[in-house]
Structure 1
């Protein structure tokens, strides 16, 4: 059992070595992710690939670049859906959009966008609520594989029933099927919804801010980091917002007792919506 448990005492130095090499070779920094997350993902990878021990796994990964890249792909968690937590998107419709920059161009960042469902959900809401306004959404993720899926905007058709229900719960009133075309198995998001989306790779751990945004969503990302890294990333998000800009986190995430907390006021504590001080 201990041989495959990533954070048993005998395996911890091996995990440290592995994560250090991932950072050195690929520039991907998992060293300050939460111990629970790392243990779960590393142990799962070892079992799935039939390694007898963490030691065997680490030696194999460090000797084979392709295997190492496969391991990194396994660290990504593309668990998302359109209009996830509909109450949040309803609040975006009713309260956040009216607060966006009064200029003709508003900039939004979906940080940790995974396979793109959040970004397309935003695109639909902006199309409905601000049809004449130019709103550009930058959707970023660490995983190139997830971004490849996001750029295509093709999702399993069987998911559309649940997405339609979430869309309606978020305040949508249109026919949701108007936003995609369908074949036997897939739903293809309409090209006009992709027009104002920019998908790009960005590493919240080591990359810097790249714009000044009116709205940032970074939902269900911080939960995978340890406390020090959470605070570092929240600082990055705060520095990426314009004065008066809006930050939305996941429902299990908080900036309470963090140093960057002083930069924000609560707009909705339950929905984790904050406004940067002006």
Structure 2
């Protein structure tokens, strides 16, 4: 089943919408699997936090209405689907400025069948991209619509060469994948990059940090990748996928990866 609704009705946004002109908005991608919207509370909490940070009009009433819509739209579905939610700032006229009291928020809901890529059932081939990630603490953690860093990074390689590419900041610290968060084991210690300056605070990343206190959040310089002996990438659609090859170097598959996957209840 495929659905696309704008404010609850079939339609489209205006060509002069701020979301197109400035990327003024946020999005969430939620996996629907076996009758469940996976990690819905975490997705909605991140959406609420992002709206507050961007000063987008979004209330508890809006959140409640969204939950009711999602429940109705997915009723009767069983096969895996991906639900994409976009909250877009609408404001008349042109220019960057807006009146916080006069703005409104357009809500887009897209639902499409989903099948995990084949590589998610094996080992991921991962490499570094030369594209640098944009650093802005004011936007760090959010899943905003400005994803050009990832677009350029993905364009560096054909998908047949690598399954995921990693982005560093201008100081050489590894931050995340183009579509995933990164976890590394260095000298026996599991860690994930500090995203206080940039990057997306992913849902699976949050689950893992909440449930496994031994995982450290730390800076990871690109030079330290040579000391990595195991790694995995993750997001709310692909789950947890071990890295089998990192920058042309083979990695072992650590037993802890299955433990991480099982303890956060990621569907296969």
Structure number with higher relative contact order (C-alpha < 8 Å, ≥ 6 residues apart):
2
Give the structure with the larger helix fraction. Answer: 1
Output the TM-score relative to the length of structure 1. Answer: 0.26
Larger Rg: 1
Per residue, is there more strand in 1 or in 2?
Answer: 2
- Tell me the TM-score normalized by structure 2: 0.27
